[in-house]
Amino acid sequence: MIGIGIAIGERSVAGTFACIIALVFVMGFGFKKKKKMREAGEL
């Protein structure tokens, strides 16, 4: 999320989109991991 702010400050459209895509990817990975942990009874 910090990267998005920096990219906006630098007026970098490509950087903004790259950070948003990275953020969505990382959040998706976290949600999948949390689901697996919940199903395994570790959470």
1 band by pLDDT with thresholds 50, 70 and 90: confident
- Give the whole-angstrom CA distance, residue 14 versus residue 21: 11
- Give the whole-angstrom CA distance, residue 5 versus residue 18: 12
Flag whether pLDDT at 6 surpasses 90: yes
- Give the whole-angstrom CA distance, residue 37 versus residue 40: 5
Mean pLDDT of the 8-29 span: 95
For the record, the structure tokens of 37 come out as: 């942990």
Q: Is the dihedral of CA 34, 38, 40, 43 positive or negative?
A: positive
pTM of the model: 0.73
